[in-house]
Structure 1
């Protein structure tokens, strides 16, 4: 193996692939997809099978390894790992306002529509054929990566030896509105847990929200901070160690000065690091589309924004507890975040788009023969446990581990144990 980098216990090699933007037009425009191949130093000369990792998102590049630890440590015991930068992210051809500005809005919609799970899996198949002698490989998906895994099992099951899913079993049939109705209820529970754990958090958020309401507060990234933006911090409270991080940020938001209360410059600098909307625009543009399928015959149409009207407690009012929101995208974000503003027309067009392709073939999944194991987190704020269990009943040969030990990002916190558990589950003899 030709080494590009030597890390602690790992050697890595970079791969760049030129793939069709639209696989229905294979001779048309090409984009670049990047994948990092890693192997343990002691195994670098061995002919090991591949495990490809599908990152959560959509719209985030794959993890950048630092050392052999966590789930990577467990995986490298028996695999060469492929860390795939899904199209539009990382070192793959990026999507942002600068790379799209030469296109009309209609052209932008056509372009960005090619960046869903179906083409991510087509990219994976392209790479598999390039890196292997058309042999099967194993796949691992976290969060949205689990959505990709289920599409892979629908579209090309013969390419897969075994599959692992953590925190990412989607509903195969439900609409975006169903998903967000359930999500808002879980987010309310996470808010209650947050305020129960941190006794002065309610006062801290009330004082901060009132200050933001009465003053023009400019973030280090140049945006004016609004109460709605402040509520977006809730995307972190469903993660392991996320509530603590949010609390400690709020704790030092306001400082006393000779001229009265002011915003702490440290808060202004750190706040934007808690949110990814400026740096990862695919997430804001495409998140609701991951719940859209052809048979729905409708677009998401700003589902989270519309469903929020059924949960008025999220609408901030002075004197009432401020509720943080979660993994929801709102149209006003494209008016407030600097890197999203140029994408406002595109975002509205994507929200209205109704002709999405189907992502899952239920008939194929009901006859699945690929060993699949999944970690389902009962307290997951982002993926509804009940909808996941509905899907489990539709996918044959799937074993699951239902646990309350971890939040959504359990594989990041205790990845070695989580992946080891899933590998063991897959290799047990089926009782069916």
Structure 2
């Protein structure tokens, strides 16, 4: 199925593809995967090379562009771009508490097990073949970079260039090692935030104490807890987030008939931060992106015990957490509660397939250009460099100019630099 429209000087074509749910059973159940093609109106009939974009996450759809801007502006100078809604997201067959409600927990766990990077890149490969594309470039942001290396592992002959921003994973390290590093980075970001806004520490303690002493409800009726409040620290790893976050804290309380209480505006903003409600793949499968023949067993939850400063008690210094997911989320978040048993089954699963072929990557011939952010809160720089050292024809731009969301903040410049880097690798004798 294909539809199209024109907006300004861009042509948008919508594609829907049927793909196997389980690639070990290609003739059994199928799901739909949606992808949006974007091309310069003046060049829509030209034989342009393709670039497929892998979104960060996991569990979030591709961008919905409304203009020629950011990284897309640079890409459209030479590419026909495909924005892939990874399986389970956006206009692809959706994963939510609603769509899984008819399944038993065991059925849910089995079904969800097919929504990792190994299946995502196989979807992309089927789409490439159906579009009649010989090779295409990949652009992977964050988790999308993980997908890019999975693609290079499985289908290197299908990739002409690989551009990665903030998303070069360890190929072999267990989730526990990843979170040991991540907690330290999150602690560093906390200290930088509270150094910049000294008054915020007392305000955060005041909010946390209020939540411990009172039954506070979010607009959806869900009880709001200290643990949930700490999770907005995921924003600390994004450029330009600190000041808005401070302003949000500053206005947290309101006087209601002589009594100080958390304002509806603040609570509504807190609910808006809980994307786990609408995008449960992130909560359910986040730790599995590090799992190969091993279980996560709620890694971030276990490793947190090595960092007691994140377990707030009255009188303690307050620390936000980051992008970690925890088992208690499935007790507290309304839209995750129906998926609790399935999430536990997946956390205990030990037979996850390999996501990377280390031997194949060691023989890589595809130019790989990566933006590695020196102060990245989500992806450990040393692990990224360790990986790239093992992949021939890869090149890293190590920079502290940007946070993890550099592609969103200054995408045109970043992609331009990566394209130049990859061309340089390709032209090496």
Q: TM-score range by the shorter chain?
A: over 0.9
> Are 2:154 and 1:158 aligned?
no
| 1:28 alignment partner in structure 2 | 28
> Are 2:279 and 1:280 aligned?
yes
| 2:220 alignment partner in structure 1 | 221
| Aligned-partner SS, 1:350 | helix
> Are 2:368 and 1:372 aligned?
yes
Cα deviation, residue 82, structure 1: 0.3
| C-alpha contact 1:176 1:292 (8 A) present in aligned 2 | yes
| C-alpha contact 2:54 2:141 (8 A) present in aligned 1 | yes
Cα deviation, residue 258, structure 1: 2.7
Which of 301, 306, 313 is matched with 1:310 structurally?
306
Q: Provide the C-alpha distance between the structure 1 equivalents of 2:409 and 2:328, rounded to a whole number of angstroms.
A: 33
Superposition pairs for residues 18-417 of structure 1, below 5 Å? 18-132=18-132, 134-294=133-293, 298-417=294-413
Q: Provide the C-alpha distance between the structure 1 equivalents of 2:101 and 2:40, rounded to a whole number of angstroms.
A: 42
Q: Provide the C-alpha distance between the structure 2 equivalents of 1:235 and 1:210, rounded to a whole number of angstroms.
A: 21
| C-alpha contact 1:54 1:140 (8 A) present in aligned 2 | yes
| Aligned-partner SS, 2:121 | helix
TM-score normalized with structure 1 length: 0.97
Structure 1: any 5+ residue segments left out of the alignment? none
Cα deviation, residue 3, structure 1: 6.3
Q: Provide the C-alpha distance between the structure 2 equivalents of 1:5 and 1:339, rounded to a whole number of angstroms.
A: 35
Between 1:203-212 and 1:12-21, the stretch displaced more is 203-212
| Aligned-partner SS, 1:13 | strand
| Aligned-partner SS, 1:97 | coil
| Aligned-partner SS, 2:98 | helix
| C-alpha contact 1:163 1:372 (8 A) present in aligned 2 | yes
| Aligned-partner SS, 1:100 | coil
Cα deviation, residue 272, structure 1: 1.6
| C-alpha contact 1:236 1:274 (8 A) present in aligned 2 | no
| C-alpha contact 1:278 1:337 (8 A) present in aligned 2 | yes
Which string of whole-angstrom CA distances, capped at 9 and with x for unpartnered residues, describes residues 74-107 of structure 1? 0011111000000000000011122112222222
Q: Provide the C-alpha distance between the structure 2 equivalents of 1:425 and 1:252, rounded to a whole number of angstroms.
A: 45
Structure 2: any 5+ residue segments left out of the alignment? none
Runs of 4+ in 1 over 3 A off after TM superposition: 429-432
| Aligned-partner SS, 2:261 | strand
Q: Provide the C-alpha distance between the structure 2 equivalents of 1:128 and 1:117, rounded to a whole number of angstroms.
A: 16
Distance 1:245 1:9, change over 3 A: farther
Between 1:110-119 and 1:257-266, the stretch displaced more is 257-266
Q: Provide the C-alpha distance between the structure 2 equivalents of 1:104 and 1:3, rounded to a whole number of angstroms.
A: 36
| Aligned-partner SS, 1:4 | strand
> Are 2:9 and 1:9 aligned?
yes
| C-alpha contact 1:8 1:66 (8 A) present in aligned 2 | no
| C-alpha contact 2:3 2:15 (8 A) present in aligned 1 | no
Which string of whole-angstrom CA distances, capped at 9 and with x for unpartnered residues, describes residues 349-385 of structure 1? 0000000000111111111000110000000000000
TM-score normalized with structure 2 length: 0.97
Between 1:34-43 and 1:63-72, the stretch displaced more is 34-43
Aligned length: 427
Q: Provide the C-alpha distance between the structure 2 equivalents of 1:201 and 1:43, rounded to a whole number of angstroms.
A: 51
Which string of whole-angstrom CA distances, capped at 9 and with x for unpartnered residues, describes residues 303-354 of structure 1? 0000000000001011222100001000000011110000000010000000
Which string of whole-angstrom CA distances, capped at 9 and with x for unpartnered residues, describes residues 187-233 of structure 1? 00000011011121111111111111111111112211100000000
| C-alpha contact 1:51 1:81 (8 A) present in aligned 2 | yes
| Aligned-partner SS, 1:82 | strand
| C-alpha contact 2:39 2:79 (8 A) present in aligned 1 | yes
Q: Provide the C-alpha distance between the structure 2 equivalents of 1:98 and 1:48, rounded to a whole number of angstroms.
A: 40
Cα deviation, residue 11, structure 1: 1.6
Cα deviation, residue 243, structure 1: 1.9
Q: Provide the C-alpha distance between the structure 2 equivalents of 1:9 and 1:201, rounded to a whole number of angstroms.
A: 46
Q: Provide the C-alpha distance between the structure 2 equivalents of 1:290 and 1:193, rounded to a whole number of angstroms.
A: 28
Q: Provide the C-alpha distance between the structure 2 equivalents of 1:41 and 1:196, rounded to a whole number of angstroms.
A: 49
Cα deviation, residue 431, structure 1: 5.7
| C-alpha contact 2:367 2:393 (8 A) present in aligned 1 | yes
